[in-house]
Amino acid sequence: MDSSVERAVIVTGAGKGLGAAFALAMASEGAAVLVNNRLRQDQPDSAGAIADTIRAQGGRALANYQDIAAPGAAQALVKAALDAFGRIDAIIFNAGIIGPAAKLPDMDIAALRDVLNTNFLAQAALAQAALPHLLASPSGRMVFVSSSAGLHGVRGRIPYAASKGALNAMALTLADELKRTALRVNVLCPYAATPMTAQDGVADDPRLDPAYAAGMAAFLASEACSANGQIFLAGGRRYRRARMVEGRGASAPDDSSAWIAAHLDRIAAMDGAREFSGAEAAFADLYATIDMTNTGG
């Protein structure tokens, strides 16, 4: 292990946009960074450029060109970080693709598989490969970069929204499974103007510079972060937390759908809504309120 490295971080998809901002932010706080971004034919070496920038500023960085969706990529990324820095303390899982825009009738199932493979399955593989090393760190951190599309859905982007919803569910489950360890797992849903969000003829909003969401990524990947199993949104230096919640609901006196139709407003009401630490806790809460003698309360 390289004793000169106090904290080593992998940032995937770090050649441009949000990933580049995250890598630069981590380096500015003293971390050694493996700057991962696949190298496309006839395209500039964006990962190398970010690594060069970090080194020019006195930091420590190494470019990595692994395509995270390729077979064996997770193991190769972990090995590259260990070979370079001797340890892995945090991963910012940023690499992802948006996929083609299409509503369900026109959606290409092959494209759906591609998006799920990159945005979910590749992330799971990297998390699995790196887990022993993150657990060996005194302050291991996983930061899964997701999207509000995975919270609320987004028109015309079923593959992307589904992949990010799956990512959110995996991250929250991991956080629950690992809560008795020093490893902390959280989700970041950033808003930023990036090559992925660019529209022809539309100028980027300067308030949505990727750097303005990078502070939250750097915090979640840091030793200072004690949060676990949380979803944070960030953009324009504005931050807030998101969570799935359940309302109080209501109990029916019989099995008819007519009662549900007549009382749907009460069933759907969100006053007094609460969040739960996991699906088991949510079920236990509902189960405790079951009253088979109820007459419609």
Distance separating alpha carbons of residues 97 and 254, to the nearest angstrom: 48
CB 9 within 8 A of CB 218: no
Tokens of 39: 């190298």
Q: What order do you get walking across the sheet with 61-64 strand by strand?
A: 61-64, 32-36, 8-11, 90-93, 141-145, 184-190, 231-235, 238-242
Q: Which of 89, 83, 70, 209 is nearest to 141 (CA)?
A: 89
Residue 65 falls in the annotated catalytic set:
no
**156 close to 172: Cβ distance less than 8 angstroms:** no
What is residue 220's DSSP assignment? H
**Looking at 65, 160, 239, 287, which residue is catalytic?**
160
Q: How far is CA 113 from CA 109, 120, 146, 244, in A?
A: 6, 10, 18, 26
Classify residue 82 by burial, with Cβ atoms within 10 Å: 0-12, 13-18, 19+: middle
SS3 263: coil
CB 114 within 8 A of CB 97: yes
Beta-bridged to residue 36, according to DSSP, are 64
- Does an H or E element contain 232, and which? strand 231-235
- Which contiguous run of DSSP H or E holds residue 262? helix 257-262
Residues annotated as catalytic are 160
